[in-house]
A and B are shown apart, each in its own frame.
Chain A
């Protein structure tokens, strides 16, 4: 049957020939022009490294510029960029990792470290540092720890970020409330109450569904969201957290979740539905672009009037343990995190530059970047920065579940106690998977 179709179409014949040619190449019988993917060495000693990341257009353009610099300095190493958006990236990565073909170097985040280490995908970059191909010095404020788990350096941070409270400056001013370092949760909610009374808008967009904020709250109380292998809090803790949250939705202190849903993809804060929102500080540039008001970063409320529980999280670069060019991969990572020129090109796109070389090379010129820099300096100066707890495998799934189940609580579809039980059972499955 194939013969018939084959005889009739040049295209099909070509396809089959190509496939045949490629399998010959695999058998080592000859080189072929169609080969791409795994085989990346060539006769003149040039090696090709695949580098993948997620992110928008500004990041893609900046990274391509950095790559051009790198290739100029290391003419024998070629970098092949691959990029898409966050969700597509991880969907693709999962298949590539299972199929034994992940990129040589890729952008990574804390929640995925143990997950892919468990599957033997991530290289321990300490071995490359020991070999002298990569420097792990000069990282600021202990951010290097964000890439560590179980005594291994699974990622090298490119930028630091921390949870923050983004506020609508105009609304806070109009209501006459002023966030202060060390303010307590009670003071924060009182401020929101004043805003609600005076301006008739909600205070917050839904704080209690954000896993990383609950983590801070737990850390303020001597716990943490994750231990090494499980959840670091009890069902009762979470029930109380969600009960309080739901009460505040009912009283209008937290914006109506239905309205928040309606304005998506815009955030409730920039839509003017509420006066504040908790998020990572490096995400805060979106509000200026989306909303009409002025936005600023405010301190995280505390339990004891002092400790915010904050730590530096990070985007990082990880390497595939099975890469054919570990040395070149390490050299590339080293260049991307230490070279001052790269720091100037990248700016704070992936968080505040992680190494002193890059941090000092880049002076932010626009408002949001300056704000983020001032904020992290303030937090660091306050001496509240703690050490990040490495996340167990499955943390990414739990973060999504926390947001979803918390959303059901907010909409009144699930009772806090039932919701907490659901989260615990889903977490159990996620840790096992």
Chain B
């Protein structure tokens, strides 16, 4: 307690400042480590293809646009833009499907009392435990018999049928937090379940809906296994499959265009997140009705 003998007495304020500087420096170091791969990808996208695996420099000595202009020529006779259109279609359909079907299912679980509700809810949560690979082949056989292989249907059908149990669970939890008085009031005003769902519960659930939308979009955009198994025609390939086409184990891989394309592929995901994270924070702030 007595610090009279010590010449270097620091006030609480000073101590807080050094602490804060150390904290920031530490955070910056971690940030640099986290961002390094991103910077590497950006740098590599502007390097000549041969330098990407040859030179260890982070940034190109002389940036070139060749990798990007090379993308305009397409790959193996398929235009690169078709990969983006396909991925976008897949991701948008997935988002629409999950947001609508998961919220509707969640409404039933959270707001309606019906026989076997708990059992069904448990079963639904149970599907989370099923590994994807267990379902892969039976699902494939089913869609093949329906002659839906090589279309987007096998990839998005499940999303429209609320098979994404995690998002259903997320929304059920969110809806349980909404005050019961609101839907009771709606009922008194003569609303049926669909009306209550659409006009009362859904608007209040916006943060949960947006969270689900963001994750669904990213998952669909990055999905590799699903499109790999179900899409056969190369012009129907998504971005994740298109990227693989630049690889060539037996010859010379076109790393330049591959990295340029992965950089371009990041744009929609980042844009989607940027566009919706505002609502996410917004939603959090305004949902505190209680």
What 0/1 pattern do residues 47 to 85 of A give for CB contact below 8 A with B? 000101001111111001000000000000000111111
Q: Does A425 contact B (CB under 8 A)?
A: no
The distance from the CB of A81 to the nearest CB of chain B, in whole angstroms, is 7
Q: Does B75 contact A (CB under 8 A)?
A: yes
The distance from the CB of B31 to the nearest CB of chain A, in whole angstroms, is 25
Q: Could you say which residues of chain B place their CB within 8 Å of the CB of A82?
A: 232-234
Q: Does A229 contact B (CB under 8 A)?
A: no
Instruction: Please tell me which stretch of A32-40, A177-185, A322-330, A338-346 contacts chain B, meaning at least 4 of its Cβ atoms lie within 8 angstroms of it.
Output: A32-40
Q: How far is the CA of A85 from the CA of B240 in the complex (A)?
A: 12
Is the pair A263, B53 in contact by a Cβ cutoff of 8 Å?
yes
Question: A56-B250, A100-B141 provided; 11 other pairs, C-beta below 8 A?
Answer: A1-B104, A18-B151, A26-B147, A56-B247, A57-B245, A64-B76, A84-B241, A85-B244, A92-B228, A95-B229, A103-B232
Is the pair B101, A5 in contact by a Cβ cutoff of 8 Å?
yes
Q: What are 14 inter-chain pairs, A to B, with CB distance below 8 A?
A: A5-B100, A8-B100, A9-B100, A12-B160, A19-B146, A25-B147, A34-B147, A36-B150, A55-B250, A82-B234, A85-B249, A96-B229, A286-B250, A290-B252
Interface residues of B in 224-238 (CB under 8 A from A): 228-229, 232-234
Q: Does A86 contact B (CB under 8 A)?
A: yes
Q: How far is the CA of A314 from the CA of B64 in the complex (A)?
A: 39
Q: Does A137 contact B (CB under 8 A)?
A: no
What 0/1 pattern do residues 266 to 293 of A give for CB contact below 8 A with B? 1000010000000000110110011000
The distance from the CB of B158 to the nearest CB of chain A, in whole angstroms, is 11
Chain B contact-residue range equals: 35 or more
Interface residues of A in 1-32 (CB under 8 A from B): 1-2, 4-5, 8-9, 11-12, 15-16, 18-19, 22-23, 25-26
Q: Could you say which residues of chain B place their CB within 8 Å of the CB of A18?
A: 148, 151, 153
Interface residues of B in 16-47 (CB under 8 A from A): none
Give the residue of A9, A22, A60, A83 whose beta carbon is less than 8 angstroms from that of B146.
Answer: A22
Q: Could you say which residues of chain A place their CB within 8 Å of the CB of B93?
A: 11
Q: Does B136 contact A (CB under 8 A)?
A: yes
Q: Does B156 contact A (CB under 8 A)?
A: yes
Q: Which residues of A contact B (CB under 8 A)?
A: 1-2, 4-5, 8-9, 11-12, 15-16, 18-19, 22-23, 25-26, 34-39, 50, 52, 55-61, 64, 80-86, 88, 91-92, 95-96, 98-101, 103, 263, 265-266, 271, 282-283, 285-286, 289-290, 349
Q: How far is the CA of A52 from the CA of B231 in the complex (A)?
A: 12
Q: Does B145 contact A (CB under 8 A)?
A: yes
Give the residue of A15, A56, A85 whose beta carbon is less than 8 angstroms from that of B160.
Answer: A15
Is the pair A266, B244 in contact by a Cβ cutoff of 8 Å?
no
The distance from the CB of A167 to the nearest CB of chain B, in whole angstroms, is 19
Q: Which A residue sits closest to B162, measured CB to CB?
A: A1
Q: Does B77 contact A (CB under 8 A)?
A: yes
Q: How far is the CA of A286 from the CA of B151 in the complex (A)?
A: 36
Is the pair B253, A56 in contact by a Cβ cutoff of 8 Å?
yes
Q: How far is the CA of A50 from the CA of B149 in the complex (A)?
A: 13
Q: Could you say which residues of chain A place their CB within 8 Å of the CB of B280?
A: none
Is the pair A88, B241 in contact by a Cβ cutoff of 8 Å?
yes
Q: How far is the CA of A60 from the CA of B246 in the complex (A)?
A: 11
Is the pair B76, A57 in contact by a Cβ cutoff of 8 Å?
yes
Q: Given A12-B100, A58-B251, A92-B228, A266 and B53 touching (CB < 8 A)?
A: yes
Q: Given A22-B148, A61-B77, A81 and B234 touching (CB < 8 A)?
A: yes
Q: How far is the CA of A84 from the CA of B151 in the complex (A)?
A: 17
Q: How far is the CA of A123 from the CA of B54 in the complex (A)?
A: 45
Is the pair B248, A55 in contact by a Cβ cutoff of 8 Å?
yes
Q: Which residues of B contact A (CB under 8 A)?
A: 50, 53-54, 75-77, 93, 96-97, 100-101, 104-105, 108, 136-137, 140-141, 144-151, 153, 156-157, 160-162, 194, 197-198, 228-229, 232-234, 241, 244-255
Q: Which B residue sits closest to A18, measured CB to CB?
A: B153
Q: A-B pairs with the 4 shortest C-beta distances?
A: A56-B248, A60-B76, A99-B140, A289-B252
Is the pair A91, B228 in contact by a Cβ cutoff of 8 Å?
yes
Q: How far is the CA of A82 from the CA of B97 in the complex (A)?
A: 29
Is the pair B161, A2 in contact by a Cβ cutoff of 8 Å?
yes
Give the residue of B77, B144, B157 whose beta carbon is less than 8 angstroms from that of A38.
Answer: B144
Q: How far is the CA of A274 from the CA of B198 in the complex (A)?
A: 68
The distance from the CB of A185 to the nearest CB of chain B, in whole angstroms, is 27
Is the pair B245, A282 in contact by a Cβ cutoff of 8 Å?
no
The distance from the CB of A139 to the nearest CB of chain B, in whole angstroms, is 22
Is the pair B160, A37 in contact by a Cβ cutoff of 8 Å?
no
Q: How far is the CA of A339 from the CA of B251 in the complex (A)?
A: 24
